[in-house]
Structure 1
């Protein structure tokens, strides 16, 4: 509300100055609101960054980014800017509810990694061990930088987490809390 406080003051000042019809240099009467419109048009707009649509999924709030693809570190930073963290799921029920909302055949980064110790996966938000429902054959370390976790909705019989290179660009899922 404070950022809009300048507009009413400007309106009052302009109304006091331009409050009556004034005669212009060529003898015509000028509408005082014409000048106010010009003045208001010169005020720079402060566009607030729209908050993402965090949706209640199960008992927690998540934002599933469907369009923007980023590497894991940038996705983690983006989630922080949006007021959340890269997401970690708390149990199988929550995992199924989230997976049901994912676009098929699209990778999503999760807020789970094993940067500190290989095969010791923790939540980025809480630092606690994360709930892990791996896809068949995972974790499968093919590349040296596979310390980040992603999820891919591609087969209802094999929905789960996978280790992924942190440098890949994927969409991502944010959580609003630090519970997990």
Structure 2
């Protein structure tokens, strides 16, 4: 199973959130109401989706599922979401237990797994969720809240 099987790729969509010459975001930045540093975030807590639908929604808005880069970032998102768990960009759809980010095609820069994770306990846990306890693998069809991210270049 690969991202292409679902009509998706792991191209880095940085161009979606570039600023124009006037310092304004191009097209989709308005869909990302939270700005922290050079990153924009959209937190979806009203609609729970499976990992694929969440990734597609983020792409449609001009970003990608959250690509965690630090402990501070995950703590901040956990507190802002007011949700016990939410989808992030990592997956191992290749079923090789190497979790890569849909945003970059490589491992997330920061990964702090919850105790005993990843465990693939259901035998089909190929997508990654974040929670207060840390990251854990989860069946991709589970419906969760999610955080989208776009970078300002």
TM over 0.5: yes
Once the two structures are TM-superposed, the CA of residue 108 in structure 1 deviates from its matched residue by 0.8
Query: Scaled by the length of structure 2, what TM-score is found?
Result: 0.72
Higher RCO (CA < 8 A, seq sep 6+): 2
Once the two structures are TM-superposed, the CA of residue 92 in structure 1 deviates from its matched residue by 1.6
Once the two structures are TM-superposed, the CA of residue 162 in structure 1 deviates from its matched residue by 0.8
Q: In the alignment, which residue of structure 1 is the partner of 2:14?
A: none
How many residues are treated as equivalent by the alignment? 125
For residue 110 of structure 1, the aligned residue among 88, 97, 100 is 88
Cα deviation code 1:36-93 (max 9, x no counterpart): xxxxxxxxxxxxx9x5343123542211111111111111100011111011111222
Matches within 5 A, 1:54-73: 54-73=33-52
Q: In the alignment, which residue of structure 1 is the partner of 2:134?
A: 160
Segments of structure 1 that go 5 or more residues without pairing to the other structure are: 1-48, 154-158
How much is the aligned-residue C-alpha RMSD, in angstroms? Answer: 2.4
Q: In the alignment, which residue of structure 2 is the partner of 1:84?
A: 63
Query: Scaled by the length of structure 1, what TM-score is found?
Result: 0.62
Q: In the alignment, which residue of structure 1 is the partner of 2:111?
A: 132
Q: In the alignment, which residue of structure 1 is the partner of 2:146?
A: 172
Segments of structure 2 that go 5 or more residues without pairing to the other structure are: 1-27
Runs of 4+ with deviation above 6 angstroms: none
